[in-house]
Amino acid sequence: MKSASQLGEVSAAPKRKRVLFLCTGNYYRSRYAEELFNHLAKSEGLPWRAFSRGVAATQPAANLGPISRFTLKALQAKAISPEGAEQLPRLCALVDFDDAQIVIALKEAEHRPIIEQRFPEVADRVRYWHVHDIEFVDPSVALPLIEDRVRELISTLR
């Protein structure tokens, strides 16, 4: 009798699913959510992977390099080696929504208007969290909020 691989059938291995985290510039909040999610999903053996993008139409001038020093410091404090620490921030394109089963923007009041303007055809797919950017709340407050929400998300995906 022939095996499934000999018959050309697809294996029963779970397909990797993707979460897209969005913030304004893809420098601080979304990058922290992405790295933390990937670390936790991997450690729990979940078939999920995160990526992140910025929703701004142009790259914000406030992004001073590949990733926020606050994001790096918080990840290092948890002994998480960020996989994308050298990756420059990336702006979102419509195709990014196609690559994700779950889309989460980090601050509804800030991101919903931009998403509805730039991506009206997929705006209804976006879930919103309520994490202020650095000019409104200190990273010592914002990053733990993101961690709580990421952990809640991981819990629902188990």
* pLDDT tens digits, one per residue of 24-55: 999 999 999 999 999 999 999 999 999 999 99
Q: Which residue has the higher pLDDT, 30 or 2?
A: 30
Strands 48-54 and 102-105, by their bridges, are: unpaired
Domain membership of residue 145 (yes or no) is: yes
- State pLDDT tens for residues 115-135: 999 999 999 999 999 999 999
Task: Identify the domain containing residue 120 by its residue range.
Answer: 33-157
Q: Record the pTM.
A: 0.89
CA distance 38 to 154: 10
Domain membership of residue 6 (yes or no) is: no
> With 60 as the cut, is the pLDDT of residue 9 above it?
no
Q: How many domains does the chain have?
A: 1
Domain membership of residue 65 (yes or no) is: yes
- State pLDDT tens for residues 55-74: 999 988 877 889 999 999 99
Domain membership of residue 7 (yes or no) is: no
Per the CB < 8 A criterion, the answer to whether 33 and 150 are in contact is: yes
The CATH number of residue 116's host domain is 3.40.50.2300
pLDDT of residue 59: 86
Domain membership of residue 13 (yes or no) is: no
Angle at 157 between CA 82 and CA 44, to 5 degrees: 50
pLDDT of residue 7: 45
pLDDT of residue 4: 44
Domain membership of residue 26 (yes or no) is: no
Q: Taking the chain, what is the end-to-end CA distance rounded to the nearest angstrom?
A: 36
pLDDT of residue 65: 87
